[in-house]
Structures are given as structure tokens and as C-alpha cells.
């Protein structure tokens, strides 16, 4: 007597189980399949090529009608099972078709998750799971223009690429900061985003969908930040959940999926579950490889092999978008007991990262070149000890002692019009051809002929690398001090390359400049963040996690973890109202110390972090803005009383100091910047030991720069004398802008000026009027984005998380 096997669902998992079963035990079973989808078994993972037009449905069919006939299988298409009667051992479909079983195989797969935002039920909102979804998308692509895909994971990106190839304008909205964050680290996520954007697909990360707009039909998607993106079709690809409803109603044990043991049996021994609907040892899978392993075990069991067991799978991921090569597997999180090997080839767009623990591979991320994926994956699954291979492991299986990494690669990869020398506007092509045509062989030759690196000198390293590229071993560039152990490049080279290669995010810098670590360190991250802020005003989005705490909260951390707050007092001037507000705040928040600083303003010391927003709110209400008291930025502009009161005063020193402070505040600089304006050479405001100082004289204003009075005491140098306040302001801003563009992170103005030469600074600011004017304008432009009172912003709720504990359970009674 043949046993009666009933299968619910006709996806890839039961398809494979039946194939194996018919081989192992031909003729043992009489099989009936109920399938909610009105069609035969097809290769679901190939839906994306069908969507993009690279394949047809016929190409992806796994079992055609003839196959079912040949194996005597009854396939009921379009029959969805709604009820299992475990006592009578029967199943019933929506249309009332019933069938008895000896053994029941549940293979209902998964259901796409639809996020319940307002409007999610409008016409034109689709998911991406089966051929009907693909047909709906293809239909839309014929008549309509704009598509939005919610979800930048595997499915979302495949849908986006497909719709784009069908001629739609596609926008991908992704909640997280980088694409496919579950499979890729941020570095690979950056490369992927670039490749997706290269196909004219717009990607918006950190995008929180607020509402889907339209009457009956979708017309657009609104984000939490108010952005509206027009859409004629919205594809939701935010995740899947195992389809367990029928099994649950039948009283089977359910966790996230239908719980099965190693024999793929559910809590009822006559019922097994296989595929995405099953939960095995706490895992639900969403990829075919593990499902095939499950299917093999189940088939063996049904064929009578009592020892067959499924013990779980290790999975790997690939993205099926033509032209994008990406592979990931295992666990690639950072932890101190792990080591990483990173290889970046910026020119080829390659990023490879292996994560090792105890000399075994536990995680792999490959981007751009994935041919060794299977090799790494196998070693990872086998737990192979890789100590012997370590040195060359990352180069892959085919490695045969090739050349070590070329440190000049980043420069080699620059286009001919990539700018090398910012001071003199010299491009790579100019230098390379000068070297070749005029037989140059030293840095001095290049300087003499092209002027490159002849001014501030910060591009010397790059010019040397060009010489090395042209002359090979014959040239030996002077060693540069690397920024930190994450890179071989020095600060200046990094800065110039950020400009020349138009790098606009930290992951972009790390990839293109071949950083040796995956996410940098506490030394390079703040420096890169500054370089990007300074280079791309208005474009770069500040990375707060790469800033020192004082700049994240705009207050200074104290030895006991409290903060000090110093409101700005323009030019050292204050009013009774401001003083009253400060006094009130001090009392209201029990601030233990109030001190007059050496910078002509008042310090509130010992503020609790949680109180910071409220303290600022009160100070803001009294008209005061942030002092950015301890930022790498403008600190104070000290003034003296000048012509307003003083019998020696020659100019309005207080007024000019206030004007300077109002122009300069908020600007980020490589290190702190302090200024002062004195009304006469008696110099009561100590202008001659400041980063920038002004001494007023009868004929105008004597401008000073590059002084300091901290660890090193340094009198200023004279820049020049100007006649008007307007000129004083322009020269001041231009000097600071030059420093912002050339200074190395944590280098004060006096150190920068020592390094590049005071005369070089004078030449650029005083003698070159056009250049000064450009610098001045660049400074003012960047201030448009910088002069946002950080306190007001935070009082309004920005980064509120920074200031509140995530959770307070301190009142909870201690467990007995």
C-alpha cells in the first residue's frame, strides 16, 4: 500500500525534497501538493532576472507539468490550505477541497513584512515575493515613471535594479546608514551604494518612511524629515516572516517559525516542516542552501533512513545584480579577541576583509572581487587553521607570491586633472608631463618648473609619489609621518586626496585611500571628520561619533564626569540681563562654581550632563549663544575698552572685536583659535600672544598672527597694517581660512605658520589680493552652514539621546 504524502506549498524546499525522495524510494508515496500560487515550482531566486528582463518565466521553471505527471504527483494549483485536522489527518483548502494524509509536509515559506505606515494599503504598494508581484511591477514599469523601493537589503536592491532596467526612476529608501548592513560592513556598504548610484538609482539612507501618499493610487512617499518622493509604485522589501498561520491554528508548536527537530519533525510526528517556514535550533533561514540541506534530511527520513539528521547551516550571501560582485558570510563584527585582515584596492574598487579568531576564519566580506568567496567560505565552515597561510591569505587561492601592495596606488589612480597643488592650482597631468618632458628628477626641480608644492608645501608627499611613479626605484621619497597606524599616508596627503578625489564621507576616504582597518581609530576619525567638514561645507554630514565629547555636547568634560558651560560674551561685553540669567541658571541647577575665565567670559562649572539642554534653554532665552567653549574652533576674541572710554584708545577696539567674533564664531578649525583686539600698543587685550591679533594704531590696524601663550609662549608675527575695519575683517578671515585648508588636525596656527613659513602665509594673504579674496569668500560660504547655535539646536531636540539615559532603573529594588 502506497503511503499518502500531502504537501502544503510548492516552493523550492519541497521541490528538492520530492526530487530526492523519488530517487531514494521510488513508488513508495502517493503525493498531493496544494499550492496557493497558481503555477508549477520555479526558481524563486531568479525572479530578479525576470524583473530586469534578462530571463523569462519559462527559463526559471524547475518542474514543469510533465514532471508532475511522470511521478504521479497531483498538483492542485491555486489551492490554499486553510485547515489541518490532525485527528482525522486531513487538510482542507479555501475552496473546500480536502485530502487525507499519512504524512503531512508543511512548506509554506515566508510572507513579506509590510510596515504599517499610513497608506500602506493603497493601490500600487507591492511586496516582492512571487511571480504575481513581478508581473505587477512590470505592468507598472510599462505605464509609469517613478518607483520607490523601501528597504536597501538584498531583495530591495534587486527590485530596484530590475525596475531601473525597465526604465523607471528608482529611489531606494533605507532605514540604516549603510546598505545591506546585515550582510556587509560599512566599508563594503559604501562601495555598494556607489555602484547602485552609478546606475542612476537614488539611495537615501537613514530614511524613515512617514506615510505613503495618494488617494486610492499611490502618488508618493513622505519621510519623517518632510522629504516627499514622487512614486507611482512602492515596493516594500523590508523583510520576511515565516508563514505559520495554518500550522499554528492546528496547534503545532511555534516559535518564530514552525519548530522542528533534527529529523525535521514538528511537535506532531506525522507532520514535518521544511523551508523558510521552519525553525530549527532557534534559527529561521531565508536562503536556499540551508533549505536544500533540510530537504535532503527530510527526504531521507521519509525514505526510511532513521539516522538522517539536519544539524543547522552556515550561510553566505551574494547579490544578484549584474555587474555588482559581493559576497559575505559569517560573523564580521569587531571584537578585541578577533583579528582582521583588510585589503583595499581603491583603483579597482575592491574591498576584502577576513575576520579571524584563534587562527580560524569566522567572517568574510568581499566586494568587487568575489572569486575566492567559496574558498574562504569552505575554510570557514571547516574551521581550517590558517596560520600557515596568514601572510598571503587575503590575496586568495590563486596567489603565487605577487607584488606587495603599492603605497602610491592612490596617487596613481588620480585622473590627469586631479589637483595636486591647491595653492598654485597644479594638476597631476601638468606635473607628470613636466617630469617626462623636462627630465625632472627631484622635488626641487618640480617646484622650480611647475611651482607645485612651492607654497605651503602640504602637497610635497603627493609630488614625491608622482616622481616615484615616473622614475620608479630611481626615486626615493622622504618618509612621511603617517596620520596613525590605520594608514601610511600623512595628514597633508590625506587632505589633498580628499579634495582631488572628491571624497565626501569617512567610509569613502577609508576605501579610496586604502585604510588598513575597517573603521579607523580615535586618532584618525576626528581628523578625517574635520577635514571633511572643512572641505565640503554644506555637503558633508558631520559624524558626531567621530568627535571628541566636548564637541558633541558643546561643553567641557570635567574630571568627575560633569560639564562646564561657558556662554559666549561677544568681545567680553555683557549686560545686567545676561548676568542675571547666568546667576539664575547657576542657582536653578545647583551649579557649584561660577568663575571668570582668562578669556573674558563666565564659566559655569560642574553641570550634570542631563541638565545641559535645560541650562542652554535658559541661557538661550536670555539671548546668549554657545561659547563652543572647548571646541577646535573660535574660542574668544578679547578686547579692551578702546575709544569708547580709554584716554589712549585710537580705534573702537571693542566694536571690532565684537564684529570679528560675530564673523568667526562657529567655524571649525584644526585646533582652537584665540583672538584679541587692543585699542593701542599698550595692548591690554594681550593681542600679541594670540592666534590672530589686532593692535589699533592711529593710522589703522596692525594685524598679527601666529602667537600663543600656552605650553609654548610665542609672540606674534606682524602680518601687515591695514587702514579700515573692513580690511581687518577680510584679512582675519582669509588667514583663518588658509589655516583651515592647510593646517593639520591638532596643529595650532603658530605651528602651521612655522611649518609652511611666515613669508609664505604673508605672500598668500597680503601680496596675492585675488587669493585673499577667494579665501575670504570661501570662509564666509562655509560659515553659512557653521553658524548654527548648537545649543539652540539641541534645546529643540537634536541628539536628545545624547543627554538622557537610555533607561533609568536605579529605583528598582535590588533583587533579594
Partner 1 sequence: MNTQTERWIDVGYLNDIPRRGARCVKVPGYTVALFRTGDDQVFALEDKCPHKNGPLSQGIVHDGCVTCPLHNWVISLATGEAQGADEGKVATIPVKLEGGRISIDIGVAAVRAA
Q: Which of 336, 401, 404, 576 binds partner 1 (CB under 8 A)?
A: 336
Using CB under 6 A, count the residues that bind ligand SF4: 12
Q: Which of 17, 155, 218, 533 binds ligand FAD (CB under 6 A)?
A: 155
Assess 129 for contact with ligand FAD (CB under 6 A).
Answer: yes
Assess 81 for contact with ligand FAD (CB under 6 A).
Answer: yes
| Closer CB to partner 1, 66 or 806, in the complex | 806
Assess 275 for contact with ligand FAD (CB under 6 A).
Answer: yes
126 half-sphere exposure, CB direction, 13 A CA radius: 26
Residue 300 belongs to what H/E stretch? helix 288-302
Assess 37 for contact with ligand FAD (CB under 6 A).
Answer: yes
**x/- site string to ligand SF4, residues 678 to 707, per CB under 6 A?**
xxx-x-x-----------------------
**CA neighbor of 162 nearest in space, from 150, 151, 149:** 149
Q: Which of 286, 642, 670, 790 binds ligand SF4 (CB under 6 A)?
A: 642
| Closer CB to ligand SRM, 45 or 605, in the complex | 605
Contacts of 390 (CB under 8 A, 6+ apart): 341, 359
235 bridge partner residues: 126, 149
| Closer CB to ligand FAD, 128 or 367, in the complex | 128
Query: Which residue in the block uniquely carries the three cell numbers 513508488?
Result: 27
| Closer CB to partner 1, 518 or 667, in the complex | 518
Q: How far is CA 216 from the centre of its chain?
A: 36
Q: Which of residues 720-779 bind ligand FAD (CB under 6 A)?
A: none
Spatial separation of the C-alpha atoms in residues 213 and 138, rounded to whole Å:
21
Query: Which residue in the block uniquely carries the three cell numbers 567674533?
Result: 661
Assess 223 for contact with ligand SF4 (CB under 6 A).
Answer: no
Residue 720 belongs to what H/E stretch? strand 717-722
For residue 673, the minimal CB distance to ligand SF4 (Å) is 22
Annotate 133-184 with DSSP letters as a single string. Answer: HHHHHHHHHHH--EEEEE--SHHHHHHHHHHHHTT-EEEEE-SSSSTTTTTS
**CA neighbor of 184 nearest in space, from 154, 204, 161, 208:** 154
Q: Which of 5, 17, 18, 36 binds ligand FAD (CB under 6 A)?
A: 36
Q: How far is CA 583 from the centre of its chain?
A: 43
Assess 11 for contact with ligand FAD (CB under 6 A).
Answer: yes
Assess 311 for contact with partner 1 (CB under 8 A).
Answer: no
600: left (phi over 0), alpha (psi -120 to 50) or beta: left
Assess 52 for contact with ligand FAD (CB under 6 A).
Answer: no
- Segment interacting with partner 1 (CB under 8 A) among 35-43, 289-297, 326-334, 653-661: 326-334
Assess 332 for contact with partner 1 (CB under 8 A).
Answer: yes
**CA neighbor of 720 nearest in space, from 730, 711, 709:** 730
Assess 116 for contact with partner 1 (CB under 8 A).
Answer: no
Spatial separation of the C-alpha atoms in residues 780 and 736, rounded to whole Å:
11
For residue 193, the minimal CB distance to ligand FAD (Å) is 20
Assess 13 for contact with ligand FAD (CB under 6 A).
Answer: yes
Assess 807 for contact with partner 1 (CB under 8 A).
Answer: yes
| Closer CB to partner 1, 713 or 812, in the complex | 812
**x/- site string to ligand FAD, residues 315 to 344, per CB under 6 A?**
-----x------------------------
Could you tell which of ligand SRM, ligand SF4, ligand FAD, none binds residue 646, using a CB distance below 5 to 8 A set by kind? Answer: ligand SF4
Assess 653 for contact with ligand FAD (CB under 6 A).
Answer: no
Spatial separation of the C-alpha atoms in residues 362 and 556, rounded to whole Å:
41
Contacts of 336 (CB under 8 A, 6+ apart): none
- Segment interacting with ligand SF4 (CB under 6 A) among 59-67, 362-370, 648-656, 721-729: 648-656
As given in the structure block, the three cell numbers for residue 385 are 587553521
Contacts of 208 (CB under 8 A, 6+ apart): 175, 223, 224, 225
For residue 141, the minimal CB distance to ligand FAD (Å) is 16
**x/- site string to ligand SF4, residues 308 to 347, per CB under 6 A?**
----------------------------------------
Could you tell which of ligand SRM, partner 1, ligand FAD, none binds residue 16, using a CB distance below 5 to 8 A set by kind? Answer: none
Using CB under 8 A, count the residues that bind partner 1: 41
Q: Are 115 and 267 in contact (CB under 8 A)?
A: no
Q: Are 431 and 450 in contact (CB under 8 A)?
A: yes
Contacts of 144 (CB under 8 A, 6+ apart): 168, 232, 233
Query: Which residue in the block uniquely carries the three cell numbers 516572516?
Result: 241
- Segment interacting with partner 1 (CB under 8 A) among 6-14, 30-38, 408-416, 799-807: 799-807
| Closer CB to ligand SRM, 133 or 661, in the complex | 661
Q: Which of 522, 596, 711, 713 binds partner 1 (CB under 8 A)?
A: 522
Q: Name the site residues for ligand SRM (rule: CB under 6 A).
A: 556, 558, 564, 566, 595, 597-599, 601, 603, 605, 629-630, 635-636, 672, 674, 708-711, 748
As given in the structure block, the three cell numbers for residue 658 are 565684537
Q: Which of residues 399-418 bind partner 1 (CB under 8 A)?
A: none
Spatial separation of the C-alpha atoms in residues 657 and 669, rounded to whole Å:
19
Could you tell which of ligand SF4, ligand FAD, ligand SRM, none binds residue 711, using a CB distance below 5 to 8 A set by kind? Answer: ligand SRM
| Closer CB to ligand SF4, 32 or 678, in the complex | 678
Annotate 640-661 with DSSP letters as a single string. Answer: --GGGT-TT--S-HHHHHHHHH
User: Which 8-state DSSP code applies to residue 445?
Assistant: H
- Segment interacting with ligand FAD (CB under 6 A) among 101-109, 510-518, 612-620, 637-645: 101-109
| Closer CB to partner 1, 177 or 477, in the complex | 177
Assess 271 for contact with ligand SF4 (CB under 6 A).
Answer: no
Assess 646 for contact with ligand SF4 (CB under 6 A).
Answer: yes
Assess 571 for contact with ligand SF4 (CB under 6 A).
Answer: no
- Alpha-carbon Rg of the chain, whole angstroms? 34
SS3 90: strand
Could you tell which of ligand FAD, partner 1, ligand SRM, none binds residue 376, using a CB distance below 5 to 8 A set by kind? Answer: none
Spatial separation of the C-alpha atoms in residues 352 and 262, rounded to whole Å:
35
Q: Which of residues 178-207 bind partner 1 (CB under 8 A)?
A: 181, 185-186
Could you tell which of partner 1, ligand FAD, ligand SRM, none binds residue 107, using a CB distance below 5 to 8 A set by kind? Answer: ligand FAD
Spatial separation of the C-alpha atoms in residues 569 and 586, rounded to whole Å:
17
Assess 45 for contact with ligand FAD (CB under 6 A).
Answer: yes
Residue 550 belongs to what H/E stretch? helix 549-553
773 half-sphere exposure, CB direction, 13 A CA radius: 3
Please state the φ and ψ torsions of residue 48, each to the nearest 5 degrees.
Answer: -65, -45
**CA neighbor of 379 nearest in space, from 436, 329, 435:** 329
Dihedral of the CA atoms 718, 724, 725, 731 (nearest 10)? -40
Q: Are 103 and 299 in contact (CB under 8 A)?
A: no
Assess 815 for contact with partner 1 (CB under 8 A).
Answer: yes
Assess 373 for contact with partner 1 (CB under 8 A).
Answer: no
Binding site for partner 1 (CB under 8 A): 177, 181, 185-186, 332-338, 517-522, 525-526, 544-549, 557, 559-561, 801, 805-815
Where along the sequence are the contacts to ligand FAD (CB under 6 A)? 8-14, 34-37, 44-45, 47-48, 80-81, 107-110, 128-129, 155, 158, 243, 246, 275-276, 286-289, 291, 320
Amino acid at each position: 500500500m502506497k503511503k499518502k504524502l500531502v504537501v502544503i506549498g510548492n516552493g523550492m524546499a519541497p521541490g528538492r525534497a520530492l526530487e530526492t525522495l523519488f530517487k531514494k524510494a521510488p513508488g513508495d508515496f502517493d503525493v498531493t501538493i496544494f499550492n496557493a500560487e497558481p503555477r508549477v515550482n520555479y526558481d524563486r531566486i531568479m525572479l530578479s532576472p525576470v524583473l530586469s528582463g534578462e530571463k523569462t518565466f519559462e527559463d526559471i521553471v524547475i518542474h514543469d507539468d510533465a514532471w508532475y505527471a511522470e511521478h504521479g504527483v497531483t498538483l492542485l494549483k491555486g489551492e490554499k490550505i486553510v485547515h489541518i485536522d490532525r485527528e482525522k489527518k486531513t487538510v482542507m483548502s479555501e475552496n473546500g477541497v480536502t485530502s487525507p494524509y499519512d504524512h503531512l509536509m508543511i512548506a509554506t515559506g515566508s510572507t513579506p513584512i509590510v510596515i504599517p505606515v499610513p497608506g500602506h494599503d493603497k493601490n500600487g504598494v507591492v511586496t516582492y515575493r512571487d511571480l504575481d508581484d513581478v508581473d505587477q511591477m512590470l505592468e507598472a514599469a510599462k505605464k509609469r515613471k517613478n518607483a520607490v523601493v523601501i528597504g536597501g537589503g538584498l531583495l530591495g536592491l534587486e527590485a530596484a535594479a530590475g525596475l531601473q532596467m525597465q526604465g523607471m526612476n528608482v529611489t531606494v529608501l533605507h532605514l540604516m546608514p549603510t546598505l545591506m548592513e546585515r550582510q556587509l560592513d560599512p566599508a563594503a556598504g559604501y562601495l555598494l551604494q556607489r555602484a547602485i548610484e552609478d546606475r542612476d538609482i537614488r539611495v537615501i539612507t537613514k530614511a524613515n518612511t512617514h506615510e505613503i501618499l495618494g488617494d486610492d493610487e499611490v502618488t508618493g512617499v513622505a519621510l519623517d524629515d518632510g522629504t516627499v518622493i514622487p512614486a507611482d509604485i512602492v515596493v516594500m522589501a523590508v523583510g520576511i516572516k515565516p508563514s505559520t498561520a495554518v500550522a499554528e491554528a492546528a496547534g503545532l508548536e511555534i516559535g518564530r517559525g514552525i519548530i522542528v527537530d533534527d529529523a525535521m519533525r514538528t511537535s506532531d510526528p506525522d507532520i514535518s516542516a521544511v523551508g523558510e517556514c521552519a525553525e530549527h535550533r532557534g534559527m529561521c533561514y531565508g536562503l536556499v542552501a540551508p533549505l536544500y540541506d533540510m530537504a535532503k534530511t527530510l527526504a531521507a527520513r521519509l525514505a526510511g533512513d532513521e539516522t538522517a539528521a539536519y544539524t543547522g547551516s552556515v550561510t553566505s550571501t551574494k547579490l544578484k545584480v549584474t555587474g555588482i560582485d559581493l559576497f559575505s558570510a559569517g560573523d564580521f563584527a569587531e571584537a578585541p579577541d578577533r583579528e582582521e585582515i583588510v585589503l583595499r584596492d581603491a583603483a579597482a574598487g575592491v574591498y576584502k576583509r577576513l575576520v579571524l579568531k584563534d587562527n580560524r576564519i569566522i567572517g568574510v566580506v568581499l566586494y568587487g572581487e568575489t572569486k575566492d568567496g567559496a574558498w574562504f567560505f569552505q575554510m570557514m565552515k571547516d574551521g581550517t587553521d590558517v596560520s600557515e597561510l596568514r601572510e598571503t591569505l587575503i590575496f586568495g587561492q590563486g596567489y603565487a607570491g605577487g607584488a606587495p601592495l603599492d603605497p602610491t596606488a592612490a596617487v596613481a589612480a588620480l585622473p590627469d586633472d586631479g589637483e595636486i597643488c591647491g595653492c598654485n592650482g597644479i594638476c597631476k597631468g601638468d606635473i607628470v608631463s613636466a617630469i617626462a618632458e623636462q627630465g625632472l628628477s627631484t622635488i626641487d626641480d618640480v617646484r622650480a618648473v611647475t611651482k607645485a608644492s612651492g607654497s605651503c608645501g602640504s602637497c610635497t608627499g603627493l609630488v614625491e609619489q608622482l616622481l616615484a611613479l615616473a622614475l620608479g626605484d630611481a626615486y626615493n621619497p622622504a618618509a612621511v609621518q603617517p596620520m596613525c597606524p590605520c594608514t601610511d599616508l600623512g595628514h597633508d596627503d590625506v587632505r589633498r586626496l580628499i579634495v582631488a578625489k572628491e571624497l565626501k564621507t569617512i567610509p569613502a576616504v577609508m576605501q579610496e585611500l586604502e585604510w588598513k582597518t575597517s573603521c579607523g581609530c580615535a586618532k584618525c576619525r576626528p581628523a578625517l571628520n574635520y577635514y571633511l567638514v572643512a572641505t565640503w561645507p554644506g555637503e558633508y554630514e558631520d559624524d558626531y561619533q567621530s568627535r571628541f565629547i566636548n564637541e558633541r555636547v558643546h561643553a567641557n568634560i570635567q574630571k568627575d564626569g560633569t560639564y562646564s558651560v561657558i556662554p559666549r560674551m561677544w568681545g567680553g561685553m555683557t549686560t545686567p540681563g545676561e548676568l542675571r540669567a547666568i546667576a539664575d541658571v547657576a542657582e536653578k541647577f545647583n551649579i557649584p562654581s561660577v568663575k571668570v575665565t582668562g578669556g573674558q567670559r563666565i564659566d559655569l562649572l560642574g553641570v550634570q550632563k542631563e541638565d545641559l539642554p535645560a541650562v542652554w534653554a535658559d541661557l538661550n532665552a536670555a539671548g546668549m549663544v554657545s561659547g563652543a567653549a572647548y571646541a577646535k574652533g573660535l574660542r574668544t576674541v578679547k578686547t579692551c575698552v578702546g575709544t569708547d572710554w580709554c584716554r589712549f584708545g585710537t580705534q573702537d577696539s571693542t566694536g571690532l572685536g565684537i564684529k570679528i567674533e560675530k564673523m568667526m564664531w562657529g567655524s571649525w578649525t584644526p585646533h582652537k583659535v584665540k583672538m584679541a583686539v587692543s585699542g593701542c600698543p599698550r595692548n591690554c587685550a594681550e593681542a600679541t600672544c594670540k592666534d590672530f591679533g589686532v593692535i589699533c594704531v592711529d593710522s589703522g590696524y596692525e594685524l598679527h598672527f601666529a602667537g600663543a601663550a600656552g605650553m609654548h609662549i610665542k609672540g606674534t608675527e606682524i602680518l601687515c597694517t591695514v587702514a579700515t575695519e573692513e580690511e581687518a575683517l577680510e584679512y582675519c578671515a582669509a588667514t583663518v581660512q588658509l589655516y583651515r585648508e592647510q593646517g593639520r588636525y591638532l596643529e595650532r596656527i603658530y605651528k602651521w605658520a612655522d611649518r609652511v613659513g611666515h613669508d609664505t602665509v604673508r605672500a598668500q594673504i597680503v601680496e596675492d589680493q585675488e587669493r585673499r579674496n577667494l579665501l575670504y569668500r570661501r570662509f564666509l560660504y562655509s560659515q553659512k552652514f557653521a553658524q548654527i547655535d548648537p545649543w539652540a539646536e539641541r534645546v529643540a531636540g537634536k541628539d536628545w539621546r545624547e543627554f538622557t539615559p537610555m533607561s533609568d532603573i536605579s529605583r528598582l529594588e535590588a533583587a533579594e
